[in-house]
Amino acid sequence: MEKQGETTIHDIAKKLNIAASTVSRALNNNPIISEPTRKLIEKTAKEMGYRPNIMAANLRTKKTNTIGVVVPLINRHFFSSVISGVEEVAYNRGFAVTISQSNDNFEKEEKIAQTLFSNRVDGLIVSIGMQTKTFDHLRLFSERKVPLVFFDRVVDEIEADKIVVDDYRGGFKATEHLIEQGGSIIAHIGGPLNVKIYQDRLAGFKDAMKKAGLPVDESMLIHNSLTRADGTNAIKKLLQNKIKPDAIFCANDTSALSVIIYLRQMEIKVPDDILIVGFSNEPFSEVVTPSISTIRQPGFEMGKKAADLLIRQIKLKEKSNRFQTFVMPTELIVRESSVRK
């Protein structure tokens, strides 16, 4: 005999001639309920196919047990790895994960933030888009005390927990490595400078150059959105310089790949003629020929850490702890593209 609707705690209560409140407490393992009645309630709940109505509970408790994640692009190895890490931790601690992608579009990012806020997510994990230069849509969360964690592309202007990779040292190590391998006229293909990670990678690049006593010529610096097409355009432009680079530090693997493919077409040898280092350790960087030296970013671990921090904030709540910034170590992975045989 199927009931017409879902069974509620009231149905269970009625069946057992007890109060709904008792049922509720029993099902929530409230120790105030005696063992035998709890057992009984659990048993009949199962028999009746009871499933708690989470919306009702949420309404009452003002919690959704949901955390929101906003990334520029899901379909991108680094971000999907982070999401994977977030999901793993969240799932194990009883949180659902709602995911949205901004497509690096500011308006969409704003709308997503509004929506997630209205949906009362218990907390938010964000990596901002490349166009994002104002932050009111995110301040909304921090001001209303909704826990917020930034990762990778963080926002300096907002106080919150942050998880970044050591982009500065990554840029530094990459450049230093190129210098060690014999590069002296070194170009940098970087991302938009309103995004901190690209500032940092650039800073690392410059400092490594300075340390080695090498000049940084403006004509050797290019900033774009680091897509495949951008990478191709960038290398074309670099090759038009009177003095051509003998090494390039690319701020991501995608542009490094573009460069390598274009150079192959031009019959310029990598690494013999030009050394290349990328950034992020995308899966393809390992298997392309020549394989791309790059900087590893521990995406999965960052996701786990972000979720852990966020959930910690959610649980603590009131106790406004100081916000922390975690810097995940970067690792230079040396492959073929940067080592002369």
Partner DNA sequence: AATTAAATTGCAATCGATTGCGGATATAAT
Partner DNA sequence: ATTATATCCGCAATCGATTGCAATTTAATT
Instruction: Give the interface with its own copies as residue ranges (CB under 8 A).
Output: 51-56, 58-59, 64, 66, 73-77, 80-81, 83-84, 87-88, 91, 96-101, 108, 112, 115-120, 257, 261, 282-284, 287-289, 300
Instruction: Report strand pairing: 294-296 vs 331-333.
Output: antiparallel
Whose CA is closest to 109, among 74, 140, 138, 82? 138
Tell me: does residue 37 bind DNA (CB under 7 A): yes
Q: Please tell me the distance from the alpha carbon of residue 238 to that of residue 233, in angstroms, as a whole number.
A: 9
Structure-block tokens of residue 155: 């926002």
For residues 82, 87, 90 and 95, what is the CA-based torsion angle, rounded to 10 degrees? Answer: 130
Say whether residue 8 binds DNA (CB under 7 A): yes
Contact residue for DNA among 3, 6, 159, 269 (CB under 7 A): 6
Shortest reach from residue 42's CB to DNA, in Å: 12
Residue with tokens 């010529």: 217
Distances (CA, A) of 250 to 66, 174, 219: 37, 9, 15
**Residue 171, phi then psi, degrees to nearest 5:** -65, -40
Shortest distance, position 68 Cβ to DNA, whole Å:
19
Partner in contact with 34, chosen from DNA, its own copies, none, beta carbon below 5 to 8 Å by kind: DNA
By rule CB under 7 A, what string of x and - marks binding of each residue 62-81 to DNA? x-------------------
Q: Are 337 and 271 in contact (CB under 8 A)?
A: yes
Structure tokens, 62? 């003002």
CB of 143 to DNA, least distance (A): 18
Contact of 294 with 285, CB cutoff 8 Å: yes
Choice from 15, 27, 88, 105 touching DNA (CB under 7 A):
27
Q: How far is the CB of 283 from its own copies (least distance, A)?
A: 6
User: Measured from the CB atom, is 62 or 341 closer to DNA?
Assistant: 62
Binding part of the chain for DNA, among 52-60, 67-75, 188-196, 220-228 by CB under 7 A, reads 52-60
Give the nearer residue to DNA in terms of CB position, either 11 or 161.
11
Smallest separation, CB 34 to its own copies (Å): 26
- Using CB under 7 A as the binding rule, whether residue 5 contacts DNA is answered as yes
Are the beta carbons of 130 and 106 closer than 8 angstroms? no
Rounded to a whole number of angstroms, the minimum distance from the CB of residue 306 to its own copies is 15
The single residue among 4, 17, 240, 265 that binds DNA, judged by CB under 7 A, is 17
- Considering the complex, state which of residue 118 and residue 265 has its C-beta at the smaller distance from its own copies: 118
The three-class DSSP label of residue 293 is strand
The values of phi and psi at residue 320, to 5°, are: -65, 90
Question: Which element (helix H / strand E) includes 331?
Answer: strand 331-333
Six token digits for residue 133: 């230069």
Measured from the CB atom, the residue of 23 and 250 that comes closer to DNA is 23
Q: Hey, is 290 helix, strand or coil? A: coil
Q: How far is the CB of 36 from DNA (least distance, A)?
A: 7
Binding region for DNA (CB under 7 A): 5-6, 8-10, 13, 17-22, 24-25, 27-28, 32-37, 50-53, 56-57, 59-62
